Amino acid sequence: MDQASPGARPDPESNDDRTETAGESASASGVAGPARHAGGEPTPATAPAPIPAPEPTPRWAWYVLALLFAIHTLIQADLWLIAAVLPEVKQELALDETDAAWLPTALLGAAAIAAVAAGYLADWMSRPRLLAVGMGAWGMAVVGTGLARSFDGLQLARAAAGAGGAATSVVAMTLLVDVFPRRRRGRALAAFFLGMPAGALLSLGIRAAVPVQAGWPAAFLAAGAPGLVLAILALFLPHPIRGDSEPVDSRRLRLHEYLGPSQEDYIDLMVNSSFNYALLGLASSAFAVAGLAYWLPAFLGSRGMAPQPAGRLAIVILLASAVAGTVVGGWLADTFALRRPGRLFLLPGIAMLAAIGPVLAFVYARSSIVVNLGIFLTEYAMFLAVVPCFTIIAGVTMPSMRGVAFGAALAARHLIGDLWSPTILGWVIDTFAQPDTMATPFGRAIAALGAVPHAPRGQEPQNLTAGMLLIPVVLVIGGIVLLAGTRHLPRELALMIAKLRAAPSRRAG
């Protein structure tokens, strides 16, 4: 097992212990620990606890964030590229609709599997090396996408790209929560997730820079090659102690890191209420966002908008809501994580439930302004929940297990959320467009809500309103789940800090 670099923290054999203040301990975990002198002895109970200045962010943390943001941006650019060039790919490789629809499924499925495996490795191996391997594999897979000349080769390259991208994202998040102080953890994660809209813009730049004569393969060659350069740079990232941002003595952190988690620790994580509620909240968010992103152009088209303007409008609203929701979510996570941790669940949960109104507004409104605003507010609520949920996962999980926790979170987002939502919404849209289905009592109830089939010129009937009405159901589930976690979070945050300060009771198998 590779250990953290000695330069990251004071030597474990020295007497330079980390000062644990009563104020920070109480606010961060709900359990007030004793203030300590420099030599490690508890201060007398009558002595006032010193109030130190907030721990500064090391300069190299910003370099880490910049590199990880660049990596995430490049990975997201690849996802936008394949969506943009898919018509050309279908024509050149003679793919049918089923083959084309399988490509994102293969990518997300491979990403879910790789996220869990990479999370486990990230808890034991050198994370800069693992990050470099994941990014190198991603870069070669994207280059392989451009070189593919058959459907089998293309789906293998896309699955490898999904696996490499997921592994890289998991390792990156574990590094970020260690290199940034707890008071800036949410904003650091928010900056990382802003790689999604940045990747969308980068994909446009790549498409514009590649000559039309070169075709779609050149776009992937241009996107994959920089990934190999970033993989080399990742090798030189610092490797802090796991849990370096926690208010715990560095020697205790090194001991936990050396021994690692046991089987019982993994079982404890599986039954951790806050962890599971955060996973379900992330999955609900991913389900709604993916379903809306896929079907919104068709829904706007059913309102009389031309296909190309509808597609561009849906993308603009998606990116704007992603930026706004991610930034606000990161700010909320830092604002409430230390002082009112229960609100990490409360505010995203309220936002999801409040978004039911905007959904109904854009489904039934006739004004284009109301429709666009309703779509924006709905997607904004989904993105707002992402950073607080990941902050919760980091807060209730032992540092030596955060790789597995983040890997499970990404896998849940795919396996429960965005992997199936376009298909499920499509099934509802097609099923409730059939006369037999609409003749049933449930079909008549759906019709009474205004969800009636619509037949575009030259196409089969669709009931896009019925599909959109599935989104409020997801919002209700996600909102209730997040609100349910409010009462568990302060206790489980305190429990994690208490376990981290205690000596490990058993050695990992």
Chain segment 474-499, per-residue pLDDT in tens:
999 999 999 999 989 989 998 988 88
Q: How many residues does the chain have?
A: 509
Domain 260-503 class in CATH = mainly alpha
CB contact set of 192 (below 8 Å; sequence gap of 6+): 65, 68, 69, 72, 172, 173, 176
Asked if residue 223 lies in contact with residue 74, where contact means CB atoms within 8 angstroms, the answer is yes
3-state helix vs strand vs coil in the chain, percent to 5: 75, 0, 25
- pLDDT for the residue 30: 39
149: which DSSP letter? Answer: -
| pLDDT beyond 70 at 27 | no
pTM of the predicted structure, to 2 decimals: 0.85
In the predicted model, what is the mean pLDDT of residues 146-167?
93
- First-to-last alpha carbon distance for the chain, in angstroms, is 13
Query: What digits encode the pLDDT tens for the residues 220-258?
Result: 999 999 999 999 999 999 888 898 888 888 888 888 888
Taking residue 364's Cβ as centre, other Cβ atoms within 10 Å add up to 14
Is CATH 3.30.70.60 the classification given to domain 57-245? no
- The per-residue DSSP string of 63-131 comes to HHHHHHHHHHHHHHHHHHHHHHHHHHHHHHHT--HHHHHHHHHHHHHHHHHHHHHHHHHHTTS-HHHHH
How far is residue 28 CA from its own chain's centroid?
Answer: 23
Reported confidence tier of residue 29, pLDDT bands at 50, 70, 90: very low
Q: Output the six-digit token pair for 497.
A: 């800090």
Cα Rg of the chain (Å, integer): 24
Residue 411 has pLDDT above 60, yes or no: yes
Q: Please report, for the chain, the start and end positions of each structural domain, with discontinuous segments joined by +.
A: 57-245, 260-503
The confidence band for 42, taking pLDDT boundaries of 50, 70 and 90, is very low
Give me the amino acid identity at 169.
S
Tokens describing residue 178: 């260690």
Q: How far is CA 415 from CA 2, 388, 399, 420, 471, in A?
A: 31, 20, 25, 7, 18
CB atoms within 10 A of CB 177: 27
The reply to whether 57-245 and 260-503 are identical in fold is yes
Across the range 464-469, mean pLDDT stands at 92
Which of 206, 120, 204, 97 lies closest to 166, judged by CA? 120
- Per DSSP, the three-state class of 42 is strand
From 92, 366, 369, select the one nearest 218 (Cα to Cα).
Answer: 92
Task: Give the span between the Cα atoms of 169 and 203, in whole angstroms.
Answer: 19
What confidence tier does 54 reach under pLDDT thresholds 50, 70, 90? low
pLDDT at res. 249: 84
Residue 16 in this model has a pLDDT that exceeds 70: no
Grouping H, G, I as helix, E, B as strand and the rest as coil, residue 241 is coil
Residue 3 has pLDDT above 60, yes or no: no
User: What is the C-alpha to C-alpha distance for residues 164 and 446, in angstroms, rounded to an integer?
Assistant: 43
Q: State how far the Cα of 262 lies from the Cα of 115, in Å rounded to an integer.
A: 20
Q: Which two tokens stand for residue 305?
A: 């908008």
> Higher-confidence residue: 13 or 153?
153
* 462/431 Cα distance (integer angstroms): 8
Confidence of residue 99 (pLDDT cuts 50, 70, 90): confident
